[in-house]
Amino acid sequence: MLKIEGLVLAVVDPDTGQETEILHGNSFSLAQGEALGLVGESGSGKSMTLRCVLGIEPAGARVEGSIELDGTELLASSGETLRRIRANDLALIAQNPHGALNPVLPVRRFLVEGMSDARSTGRAEAEARAADLLRQVGIADTERVLASYPHQLSGGMLQRVVIAGAISGEPKLLLADEPTTALDVTTQAEVVAILDEKRREHGLSMIFVTHDLDLAAAVCDRLAVMRDGEILEIGTPEEIRDHAKTEYTRKLMAARPLLYPAGHEQPPAAALTTEERRAES
Ligand SMILES: Nc1ncnc2c1ncn2[C@@H]1O[C@H](COP(=O)(O)OP(=O)(O)O)[C@@H](O)[C@H]1O
Ligand SMILES: [Mg+2]
């Protein structure tokens, strides 16, 4: 459903006019319902790749290559088409959930406005659906959360709200950019598990960006390893684990023990494979 070919991104320094190439001609594709992990250390170009898909690359940037979403070439689309695709087909779950919500409106408004048929839905029905969305992401006291302003909720709670909003719009493609990095470790595991479960329930495709190779392996069908704006290798988690082609990938894997909280010998639940999680519950 998504096919990226030879993606080049070059940004221009507004002061010097000097151009720097950030992405060097990357290609990958995503099947319907598939989750692809985009993994690499900080600065490797993961977020910039997502920004190119969203059409929100830095001002003045040069983008070349092809980004095709269900047959539509995004790089050749007009502003109007792109706006429509961004609103209907793509949903971004970013590192900081505060950015997704208007700080002066209660959560209720965020969820109701996100509903595609909000205008034809009665108020009571929209309320009930918003509450139902929250229950789906594991929030029990829906009344309190719906009435809360973003600053009154924890990051973990807010990220659940963002996931609920993303899922409710039934997008084609979820773009998750380090969606749990800003959360504490216990909450991280819960939020990743919820994201994973909801995505599968709704059969959505996802690009999951993270520096945590194990986490990506737990929730993705395939992994693309990035370094310095280049995709070094793409494979299933098993292929990457057992037959890593580069020293860089092996180093990312070796970083694993550092990723567990001190005192925890087990990986957090979200870092287990789906089968392991099932076996545990
Ligand atoms: N707004 C920007 N303008 C120009 N260059 C940027 C901007 N944001 C990030 N970069 C550069 O682009 C490269 C890739 O960054 P990014 O995609 O954010 O990395 P990652 O998400 O993998 O940590 C880095 O070298 C970074 O310095
Ligand atoms: Mg990033």
DSSP labels for 175-221? Answer: EEESTTTTS-HHHHHHHHHHHHHHHHHHT-EEEEEES-HHHHHHH-S
Cβ of 33 below 6 Å from ligand 1: no
Residue 227: CB partners within 8 Å, gap ≥ 6?
40, 41, 44, 248
Mean pLDDT value across residues 193-212: 94
Q: Is the CB of 45 under 6 A from ligand 1?
A: yes
Distance 43 CA to ligand 2 centre (A): 7
Cβ of 57 below 6 Å from ligand 1:
no
The token duo for 98 is 């505060």
DSSP 8-state assignment for residue 98: G
pLDDT at 94 over 90: yes
Rounded to whole angstroms, the Cα distance separating 236 from 239 reads 5
8 A C-beta contact, residue 26 and residue 230: yes
Cβ–ligand 1 contact at 43 (below 6 Å)? yes
Kindly report, residue by residue over 113-169, the tens digit of the pLDDT. 877 555 566 788 888 999 999 999 999 999 999 999 999 999 999 999 999 999 988
Q: What is the pLDDT of residue 258?
A: 46
Q: For atom 5 of ligand 1, which residue has the closest CA?
A: 11
Closest ligand, as measured to the CA of 44: 1
**pLDDT for res 115:** 72
Type of residue at 27:
S
The minimum-distance atom of ligand 1 relative to the CA of 51 is 17
Q: Is the pTM of this model over 0.85?
A: yes
Q: Which helix (H) or strand (E) holds 238?
A: helix 237-242
Instruction: Establish whether residue 44 lines the binding site of ligand 1, counting it when its CB lies within 6 angstroms of any ligand atom.
Output: yes
Which tens digit of pLDDT belongs to each residue from 21-69? 999 999 999 999 999 999 999 999 999 999 999 999 998 999 999 999 9
CATH code assigned to 31-50+78-89+171-280: 3.40.50.300
Query: Where in the chain are the domains?
Result: 31-50+78-89+171-280
Over 70: is that where the pLDDT of 75 sits?
A: yes
CA–CA distance, 93 with 121 (Å, rounded to integer): 25
CB of 223 closer than 8 Å to CB of 240: yes
Give the Cα separation of 176 and 270 in Å (integer).
Answer: 15
Question: Residue 259: which pLDDT band, with cuts at 50, 70 and 90?
Answer: very low
